[in-house]
Chain A
Amino acid sequence: MTTPNLSPKLSIEELKKRACETIDKRQKEIIDLAKQVLANPEAGFREFKTAQLVAQKFQELGIQHQDGLAVTGLKGRIPGGAGSGPTVAVIGELDSLVVTEHPHADPVTGAAHACGHHCQIGMMLGATMGLLTPEVISQLSGQIVPFAVPAEEFIEVEQRLEMRDQGKVEFLGGKQELIRLGEFDDIDIAMMCHTASDMGERKFAMGGTSNGHVVKFVRYTGVGAHAGSLPHRGVNALNAASFAIQAINSLRETHKADDTVRIHGIMTRGGAAVSAVPSDVRLEWRVRSATPNAVVENSIAVDRCFRAGALAVGAKVNITTIPGYLPMRHDTKLQDIFRRIAVDLVGESATLVMPARRNRGGSTDMGDLSHIMPACHPYTAGAVGPGHSSEYVITDYESAVINPAKIMAMVVIDLLADGAKQAKEVKSNHRPLLTKNAYVKFQRERAEVAEFDGAA
């Protein structure tokens, strides 16, 4: 699609105003989109209805796009009307969590938007609508890629491993997989905005970092036996796993505060029937730390704990280590553009810039992207309740969807107007930590399968 350059040249401030007016005009439609996603929550790599909704909206807006990227991703493409220049991605994450008790949980799947990603889809489409304002897009250089990406939440590990075995994905996080597939090869700058519930009086927060991590799928194999009459013939895989969890806890005192270590997991299978010694027990585990090196160190220690569990009772253990996410490295110049616009919109006192070392503890595959290109991942207010819990809901859709839609639209205008001067500066100032190929190699090296027989 090309937009003919009809209007007289407007100032950047005027472009921003026009984009915001469009967003204001379509506010109800944008918020309804978010609510429609909320009502149809789908966990990662299964976001078919959500993807269809985005596709439909792309069509309505006349945006050329590809779909089915990394199973469910959609990548739109909007060329600016003012010639060539860098490509800026405005990202929205498609996937929900699984939180059965959430008030908006799907009654069948338990999927629920307990992390506000539905707002991201709303704001991504809202920003796109603002940017498509004819007098705006006509004055932007380069391209805009509204990008709906799958599977940011690193959950349902066993199911995703099956998809991997079937050749549907290689990496289990959506952006990781899209990077591998080359879908970020033609993108120069990436941006998204995440809702948050811990903002106090602030409307926007940016900066800080997130944890890197690796993911473990652990399977203990014991020997089943009648738990009443033949327990001496059994090997209790649940006891092996319980021991391992206690062993992991006994290491916590060795974690360095600076490493922001988070080691946690769930048991996805804890035995088949209470009358039998459990012989098949499965864990999904997460090892998070502030630096890739600390992730490796802690991953080694956790693997040792898993082996010790097998040794404790003479069980077997199979530990599949899955490449996880890298710590977030915000591009300071990009972030500063975002900050200035946020200050314009909501005022200085409602905008918080966290120090670069401030680690929120969680992880995001935006961290992976931030290792290969300028990226930022700020937070917007509007949610209440602890993230990933049943209490996490959006109470202020204007803050959660409309404000960030406007800011992202305005950031794109700042980047791509005036011959994409600022986008070119961001690009040339940025020193990527990894090339795409180096990134894929690094992640592939994290993947391993280890087996240990505690009875041998």
Chain B
Amino acid sequence: MPSKEDLKHKAAEIIDAKADDLVTIAKTILKNPEPGFRELKTAKLVAEQFAALGMQPRNGLAITGVRADASGSSPGPTMAVLGELDSLIVGEHPHADPVTNAAHACGHHCQIAMMIGAAMALTNNDIVQNLAGRIAFMAVPAEEYIEIEFRDGLRQAGKIEFLGGKPEMVRLGEFDDVHLAMMLHTTSNPAEQQICISNTNNGSVAKRIQFIGRAAHAGGAPHLGINALNAAMMAMTAINFNRETFRDEDSIRVHPIITKGGEAVSAVPADVRMETFVRGRSLEALMDANAKVDRALRAGAMAVGADVKIQTIPGYMPLQQHKGMAEIFRANAVDLVGEDNVGYVNHRGGSTDMGDISHLMPVIHPYIGGAVGLSHGATYVIEDYSLAVIKGAKALAYMVIDMLGDNASQGNSIVGGQRPDMTIPEYLKFMRNLASEETFKGA
């Protein structure tokens, strides 16, 4: 029976041989960016690639998700290898879609390519025959929590319940039979070096807010109006007045945008809409900040005597990565890029729905370099596809080999060693309780 090292060597050979194809896949997705729950072209490409590897992909999961499994030769845990399908919307990005402004400003196109690369290696008979358990390759939709209005429309139409791809896949049962999960995200931060082990990410809730005032001629009768824009401004001021109470270690982030700021400059704005996230490192800190934000929004309404509707939408759970898996991943990273090029970051302020999965099972969500520019900005592009896709694919494949090789001894030990924070029914209940709507009358 070949050793794990032999299997990794074989995997690397396969991936290297397909390197050009994999980079082409990444660039094809880059040129066809699609935001969450709209990744139809990208999903089709994934399904074709999975089918070409002899797997039976299931499509249309949470609208656009694709899953294909490969079974090892003996029973064992199921490990999910995830790639995120969706782009952002950044109109100024050099690779933005001229019509939709969608753009891969967060490197997800590399995730799909590296996942396919790992699948090419791991579905190879010489490898999969020597693994226990199963590998679930999952192309997941809608990691970026954007277009909230559009997604809420999908929700109201009954097409989804949750607004993020992975929570929706969990709801649909796609993680019921999964025991371990991993993915690998690109990074442009030089401090994170070529491969970066990370620990935690912020959790989040999303809010849709509507301030309702009373319109009036802004020149002739402003005294008859109630200025909803002023209510929104005051609400933002109130949020800022609370920032000093946020602890450093809780990494609270509150960052609203105004999606409608008035109808016409000559009328007192009567309908002003805002979206915000509230993020925090622990659920407790997140819920505390969320309550303060709600209070601040009400204070904005009260300031001018407007009404405010606050809709709270479950976002993502804080990410907590499995330390044992991270150790194993780190050893592979050292093999791939050398000790000096492996970085570590303890906490990142952004949010990912991998956090939700991390409450249900052991997961890792490390980072790989190759990108430059500001993440989510127009300057974020992949410069080094060989690192971001090829070494990324190898890192994923090596990790699966470590977990499921040797009769899945390490995988079994990790699965048996950690009680997840929540069962899937508990998680779904928590998320459903988080969803709320209130109308506060400020007058």
Whether, in the assembled complex, A247 has its beta carbon less than 8 Å from a beta carbon of chain B, the answer is yes
In Å, the complex CA distance between A25 and B258 comes to 74
Whether, in the assembled complex, A239 has its beta carbon less than 8 Å from a beta carbon of chain B, the answer is yes
Stretch of A181-189, A250-258, A349-357 on the interface side? A250-258
- Please state if A231 and B241 are interface contacts (CB–CB under 8 Å): no
Main secondary structure of the interface of A (DSSP, over half): helix
- Please state if B296 and A312 are interface contacts (CB–CB under 8 Å): yes
- Please state if B241 and A239 are interface contacts (CB–CB under 8 Å): yes
In Å, the complex CA distance between A110 and B296 comes to 40
| A positions within 8 Å CB-CB of B | 227, 231-232, 234-236, 239-240, 242-243, 246-247, 250-251, 253-256, 277, 301, 304-305, 307-309, 311-314, 454
Whether, in the assembled complex, B244 has its beta carbon less than 8 Å from a beta carbon of chain A, the answer is yes
* Nearest 3 CB-CB pairings of A with B: A247-B303, A312-B238, A312-B299
Total of A-B residue pairs, C-beta within 8 Å: 91
Whether, in the assembled complex, B125 has its beta carbon less than 8 Å from a beta carbon of chain A, the answer is no
Chain B residues near A312: list those with CB within 8 A: 237-238, 241-242, 295-296, 299
- Please state if B245 and A307 are interface contacts (CB–CB under 8 Å): no
Chain B residues near A305: list those with CB within 8 A: 302-303
Q: Which of B223, B295, B304 contacts A311 (CB 8 A)?
A: B295
- Please state if A253 and B296 are interface contacts (CB–CB under 8 Å): no
Q: Chain B's nearest CB lies how many Å from the CB of A197?
A: 32
With A304-B305, A308-B299 known to touch, is A246 a contact of B234 (CB < 8 Å)? yes
Closest to A301 in B: B305
**17 residue pairs from A and B, CB less than 8 Å apart:** A231-B245, A239-B241, A239-B242, A243-B234, A243-B241, A243-B303, A246-B234, A246-B237, A247-B304, A251-B304, A253-B222, A253-B225, A254-B225, A304-B443, A312-B237, A312-B295, A312-B299
In Å, the complex CA distance between A243 and B442 comes to 15
Whether, in the assembled complex, B227 has its beta carbon less than 8 Å from a beta carbon of chain A, the answer is yes
- Please state if A250 and B303 are interface contacts (CB–CB under 8 Å): yes
Q: Chain A's nearest CB lies how many Å from the CB of B209?
A: 15
In Å, the complex CA distance between A308 and B235 comes to 10
- Please state if A308 and B234 are interface contacts (CB–CB under 8 Å): yes
Chain A residues near B223: list those with CB within 8 A: 254-256
Chain B residues near A277: list those with CB within 8 A: 244
Knowing that A250-B234, A251-B230, A255-B223 are A-B contacts, what are 12 other residue pairs whose CB atoms are under 8 Å apart, sorted by A's residue number? A234-B245, A235-B245, A236-B244, A247-B303, A251-B304, A253-B225, A304-B443, A305-B302, A308-B302, A308-B442, A311-B302, A454-B299
In Å, the complex CA distance between A123 and B268 comes to 51
Chain A residues near B302: list those with CB within 8 A: 247, 304-305, 307-308, 311
With A304-B443, A311-B299 known to touch, is A250 a contact of B245 (CB < 8 Å)? no
The contact string, 1 if C-beta is below 8 Å from chain A, for chain B 234-264, is 1001100110111100000000000000000
Closest to A247 in B: B303
Q: Which of A242, A247, A307, A314 contacts B292 (CB 8 A)?
A: A314
Whether, in the assembled complex, B233 has its beta carbon less than 8 Å from a beta carbon of chain A, the answer is yes
In Å, the complex CA distance between A26 and B204 comes to 82
In Å, the complex CA distance between A239 and B239 comes to 11
Q: Chain B's nearest CB lies how many Å from the CB of A429?
A: 36
- Please state if A243 and B237 are interface contacts (CB–CB under 8 Å): yes
Closest to B247 in A: A232
The contact string, 1 if C-beta is below 8 Å from chain A, for chain B 286-315, is 000000100110111011110000000000
Closest to B288 in A: A232
- Please state if B233 and A250 are interface contacts (CB–CB under 8 Å): yes
Q: Chain A's nearest CB lies how many Å from the CB of B230?
A: 4
In Å, the complex CA distance between A227 and B244 comes to 9
Chain B residues near A227: list those with CB within 8 A: 244
Chain A residues near B244: list those with CB within 8 A: 227, 231, 234, 236, 239, 277
